[in-house]
Amino acid sequence: MSKEQRWKYVRLDRDGDVAIVTLNRPDRLNALSADVMDGLEAHLGAVATDPAVRAVLLRAEGRSFCAGGDIKSGNLRRDERGRLVQAEKAARLRAQTNSVLHLHTMPKPTVSAMRGAAVGAGAAIGLAADFRLGSTSLKISMAYSKIGLSSDFGGSYFLTLWAGAAVARRLMLDAAPVTSEEALQLGLINQIMSDDGLDYEALTLAKKLAAGPTAAYAHMKHSLNLAASGAPLESVLDAEAQAVVELSESPDHQEAVKAFMERRLPAFKGR
């Protein structure tokens, strides 16, 4: 099977400056087979470095965002060659999980739109985005323990980042589903939409971000990620100072100053 055929389960589209990455395996609730994970990592890696892309939207076809790992595919047990030693399996999985690294750290804003079930690794992937929108039907479940596994795809990281250590432990160890209302209260998602309006609202937000000062957004994300990683205040202050100096000479800043003087909205170019 060619890469193009395999990646039919993860679609990449463009709407102006916005790249739209879509999980496209609705008949299996977008469960993460090896093919889905490989396609997701490849597409997110590509848009992360594409200068023509200024914002990224991650969404899914069907009634659920992602049901987590595809147990029936046997991806966690073996690959097409048969049994793998643990080191090989860990290395392969680690490479596939670069998708959340791309989504969370790329130097441009990212949005995820989640409806229905977001389970285990599927939930972790959705939680990796800068802006996380959920529909009224969304139920997040870190259900790893129900199949005797621990977290992957940064599930432990993103739960702790958005909801705090105590809540992260409860959600991970208890594995009870979280409704959209509770997810909003905990900070796992930023906003609740109707099921029918989710895709439109998510794309509208992505377009708004793409029209903004994306060069400045890149520096903001870097500083925020430094702070979240536990870097000392001095390191964050150093990064912020360097960013402000660089951005003060940027075309976007010059445009913003000019627009302010002319009493109009700035037209940012992401430079």
Q: What's residue 1's pLDDT?
A: 44
CA geometry: angle at 24 spanning 18 and 29, to 5°?
130
Using pLDDT thresholds of 50, 70 and 90, give the confidence band for residue 270: confident
CA geometry: angle at 117 spanning 104 and 90, to 5°?
50
Q: What's residue 74's pLDDT?
A: 55
| Comparison of pLDDT for 63 and 96, the residue scoring more | 63
* Interval 156-208: pLDDT, tens: 999 999 999 999 999 999 999 999 999 999 999 999 999 999 999 999 999 99
Give per-residue burial for 29-43: e unless 16+ CB within 10 Å, then b.
Answer: bbbbbbbbbbbbbbb
User: Going by C-beta distance under 8 Å and a sequence separation of 6 or more, which residues neighbour residue 44?
Assistant: 21, 56, 58, 99, 102, 103, 106
The set of long-range contacts for 79-85, using a CB threshold of 8 Å and a minimum separation of 24, is 79/34
CA geometry: angle at 93 spanning 3 and 177, to 5°?
105
| Comparison of pLDDT for 11 and 4, the residue scoring more | 11
Q: What's residue 242's pLDDT?
A: 96
CA geometry: angle at 119 spanning 130 and 15, to 5°?
45
Using pLDDT thresholds of 50, 70 and 90, give the confidence band for residue 2: very low
CA geometry: angle at 13 spanning 45 and 106, to 5°?
30
Helix axes 34-48, 98-105, angle to 10 degrees: 30
Using pLDDT thresholds of 50, 70 and 90, give the confidence band for residue 83: low
Per-residue pLDDT averaged across 244-271, rounded? 93
* Interval 41-80: pLDDT, tens: 999 999 999 999 999 999 999 999 999 877 666 554 555 5
Question: Two tokens at 113?
Answer: 């739109």
Cα gap 236→247, rounded to integer Å = 16
User: Which residues is 57 bridged to in the sheet?
Assistant: 20, 111
| Percentage of residues in the chain having pLDDT higher than 70 | 93
Q: What's residue 222's pLDDT?
A: 97
Using pLDDT thresholds of 50, 70 and 90, give the confidence band for residue 14: very high
User: Going by C-beta distance under 8 Å and a sequence separation of 6 or more, which residues neighbour residue 202?
Assistant: 57, 59, 111, 112, 113, 133, 193
| Average predicted confidence (pLDDT) for the chain | 91
SS3 at position 74: coil
Q: What's residue 84's pLDDT?
A: 62
Q: What's residue 31's pLDDT?
A: 93
